[in-house]
Amino acid sequence: MCAPEHFAVEYAINPWMDLTVGVDVALAVEQWDRLRHTLVDLGHDVHVLTPQAGLPDMVFAANGAFVVDGTVYGAQFKHEQRAAEAAAHREFYQKHGWHFIAPSETNEGEGDFAYLPEAHGGLILAGHGFRTELPAHAEAQEALGRPVVSLRLVDPRFYHLDVALASIDDGNVAYFPGAFSAASQRVLAQLFPDAVLADDEDALAFGLNLVSDGANVVLNSDATRLAGKLKAAGYTPVPVELAELKKGGGSVKCCIAELRP
């Protein structure tokens, strides 16, 4: 995770970013810290990346890389405003001894990649259409040695996979069908017949931008109906308020890069 000490909406690279809306940085830090404490209280270790001035979106740490079984496939951001974030993430992983593979293709880390180790023997779901380029899916498959299923995003409000789909345990997902092309919807229905489906209201509340340890699902507090569906499916919803960070187009998952040794 990376604290939003320099968080601001200084440019608009997704439909959620409004240059006329101010950001309360102190409140953003307070809400982010509450999220961090929530993860710690659930028993998870949290490493904190040092925020850098001039990189207001660095709080969205999930976009910096994608890790599977100790191998790190690095990010190469689409927009120049975020490009320098990639080096900070690379430095973290190499400093801590992770096997880092530098990308040649445009991709935004866990923003557009999700890993399910028990789905069909180990499966990567990969989004494209707005940020990550399709050739990066093949590059990730070669780097990580796991089959990659490409899913096309068609609604610009769901510009990353992680605002439209989330792994809720090692073999299942929650997702919003309307974010995907008709063909990708059919693929998801075939792969995950027991998936938890979100409606448009909870998807637009960033409810799917969540993290789950297979039992506890930390998600945006505005996604009340999705929380109810997850509870009915046997999970424990853990709501958190992240209103300030939503102004940048992100929520829970965007703030968390998952480390998979």
Q: Is 160 an annotated catalytic residue?
A: yes
Strands, E, within 39-182: which ranges?
A: 65-68, 71-74, 99-101, 113-116, 123-128, 148-152, 165-167, 173-175
pLDDT in tens, the chain (261 residues): 999 999 999 999 999 999 999 999 999 999 999 999 999 999 999 999 999 999 999 999 999 999 999 999 999 999 999 999 999 999 999 999 999 999 999 999 999 999 999 999 999 999 999 999 999 999 999 999 999 999 999 999 999 999 999 999 999 999 999 999 999 999 999 999 999 999 999 999 999 999 999 999 999 999 999 999 999 999 999 999 999 999 999 999 999 999 999
Predicted local distance difference test score (pLDDT) of residue 251 = 98
Predicted local distance difference test score (pLDDT) of residue 24 = 97
Instruction: Tell me which of 2, 128, 160, 255 is the catalytic residue.
Output: 160
Predicted local distance difference test score (pLDDT) of residue 147 = 98
Write the pLDDT tens digit of every residue in 67-114.
999 999 999 999 999 999 999 999 999 999 999 999 999 999 999 999
Quickly tell me which residue has 């910096």 as its tokens: 64
Write the pLDDT tens digit of every residue in 17-35.
999 999 999 999 999 999 9
Instruction: Tell me which of 89, 128, 137, 254 is the catalytic residue.
Output: 254
Taking only Cα atoms into account, the Rg of the chain, rounded to an integer number of angstroms, comes to 17
Predicted local distance difference test score (pLDDT) of residue 237 = 98
Are 93 and 65 a contacting pair, CB within 8 Å?
Answer: yes
Predicted local distance difference test score (pLDDT) of residue 189 = 98
Whose CA is closest to 46, among 100, 2, 4, 87? 2
Predicted local distance difference test score (pLDDT) of residue 136 = 98
Predicted local distance difference test score (pLDDT) of residue 234 = 98
Separation of alpha carbons 98 and 40, rounded Å: 22
Structure-derived torsion over alpha carbons of residues 124, 34, 95, 79, reported in degrees to the nearest 10: 60
Single pTM value for the model: 0.97
Predicted local distance difference test score (pLDDT) of residue 216 = 98
Predicted local distance difference test score (pLDDT) of residue 47 = 97
